[in-house]
């Protein structure tokens, strides 16, 4: 714990375009939490290279993600915002934690299996080691809580296991972090197949709404979204996955509670409902996109944020790594 507040850590990879799934499951949630916690938010570019990236695009996506964080309402005065590769302690702690992690555990990770199937020509060690680097991210900052979507739950569980394992062998060193999952929106589904997670790399881009989509595209995608049999608009993820997914999106984008949303659409047809969800999303995203573009035109400002963020993050990371090196017996002069 830093001062009075608990420490909160999270990150997003600067790959492709973010979807509203990333926004709902992560960034929008961070905005709400930034006043209650001591927040550290990273841009996880070291995780991004586990899948081959175009260097120019990776650089561009990095600044674009930073601008998006700020445009969404993350306040760089309140939070530490930094780029993962600017703090070399991440790679160093990941190496140490590798020796406390078993190959079998990594092979069992669902995301590793999924990504291996999708990138069969490039099943590199980094792809398999990805959760250990994520554990290093979280443990370096002694985070108490980690707000993520449910797709990251398994990675968080292994982070906890690694922390406990290390603490038991040496002495309490790491804080064992808790995952923080939203009640609504921790897993936004694909608009065309709500049983699948909405993803940046979906085969059909019509199932994902990107943070950069313009108003017409957003509304067109929502109009095509699949709904369910029956005509009632109520939140019932088991029996009405399509409608529930749309209600979750609407609830987060408007800030209205689920019951209020259900009441608002009672007696409404699916067509009007889908249009209303599309409009709510477009209304929220349009000013965010304008602010992101404005910020991107001021590269000096963004670079300054990253420089300051790296300094603050490094100071914390350095302290934790020094403790770890001492405990495991690395000779210090």
Active site residue 115: yes
Q: Which residues contact 127 (CB under 8 A, 6 or more apart)?
A: 50, 51, 112, 115, 116, 119
Smallest gap from residue 214 Cβ to ligand TYM (A): 21
Active site residue 200: yes
C-beta separation of 104 from 57 below 8 A: no
Closer to ligand TYM by Cβ: residue 34 or 232: 34
Closer to ligand TYM by Cβ: residue 76 or 179: 179
Closer to ligand TYM by Cβ: residue 24 or 66: 24
10 has which bridge partners? 41
Q: Which listed residue (6, 200, 234, 323) is catalytic? A: 200
Buried residues in 67-81 as b, exposed as e (16+ CB within 10 A):
bbbbbbebebeebbb
Closer to ligand TYM by Cβ: residue 158 or 198: 198
* 135: three-class secondary structure by DSSP: helix
Q: Which listed residue (60, 78, 113, 197) is catalytic? A: 197
Residues at the contact surface with ligand TYM, assessed by CB under 6 A: 9-13, 21-22, 24-26, 44, 47, 134, 137-138, 146, 148-149, 151-152, 186-188, 197-198
Active site residue 197: yes
Smallest gap from residue 11 Cβ to ligand TYM (A): 4
C-beta separation of 34 from 74 below 8 A: yes
Burial class from Cβ neighbours inside 10 Å (0-12, 13-18, 19+) for residue 206 reads middle
Residue nearest to ligand TYM according to CB distances in the complex: 25
Smallest gap from residue 118 Cβ to ligand TYM (A): 13
Alpha carbon dihedral 133, 139, 143, 149, in 10-degree steps, equals: 30
CA–CA dist 225, 201 (Å, integer): 18
The residues that are catalytic are: 115, 197, 200
């Amino acid at each position: 714990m830093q001062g009075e507040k608990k420490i909160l850590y999270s990150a997003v990879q600067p790959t492709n375009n973010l979807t509203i799934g990333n926004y709902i499951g992560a960034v929008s949630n961070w905005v709400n939490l930034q006043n209650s916690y001591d927040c550290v938010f990273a841009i996880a570019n070291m995780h991004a290279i586990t899948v081959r990236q175009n260097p120019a695009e990776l650089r561009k996506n990095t600044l674009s993600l930073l601008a998006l964080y700020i445009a969404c309402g993350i306040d760089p005065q309140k939070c530490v915002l930094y780029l993962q590769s600017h703090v070399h302690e991440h790679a160093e702690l990941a190496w140490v934690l590798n020796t406390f992690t078993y190959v079998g555990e990594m092979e069992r990770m669902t995301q590793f299996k999924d990504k291996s199937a999708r990138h069969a020509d490039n099943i590199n060690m980094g792809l398999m080691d990805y959760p250990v680097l994520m554990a290093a991210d979280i443990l370096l900052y002694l985070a108490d809580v980690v707000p993520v979507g449910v797709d990251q739950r398994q990675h968080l569980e292994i982070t906890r296991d690694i922390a406990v394992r290390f603490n038991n062998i040496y002495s309490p060193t790491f804080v064992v972090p808790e995952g923080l999952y939203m009640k609504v929106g921790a897993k936004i589904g694909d608009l065309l197949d709500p049983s699948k997670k909405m993803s940046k790399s979906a085969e059909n881009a019509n199932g994902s709404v990107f943070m950069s989509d313009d108003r017409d595209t957003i509304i067109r995608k929502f109009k095509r979204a699949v709904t369910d049999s029956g005509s009632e608009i109520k939140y019932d993820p088991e029996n009405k996955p399509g409608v529930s997914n749309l209600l979750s999106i609407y609830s987060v984008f408007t800030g209205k509670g689920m019951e209020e949303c259900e009441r608002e659409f009672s007696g409404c047809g699916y067509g009007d409902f889908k249009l209303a969800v599309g409009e709510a999303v477009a209304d929220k995203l349009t000013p965010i996109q304008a602010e992101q573009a404005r910020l991107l035109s001021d590269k000096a400002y963004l670079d300054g944020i990253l420089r300051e963020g790296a300094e603050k993050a490094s100071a914390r990371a350095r302290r934790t790594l020094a403790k770890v090196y001492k405990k495991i017996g690395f000779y210090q002069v």
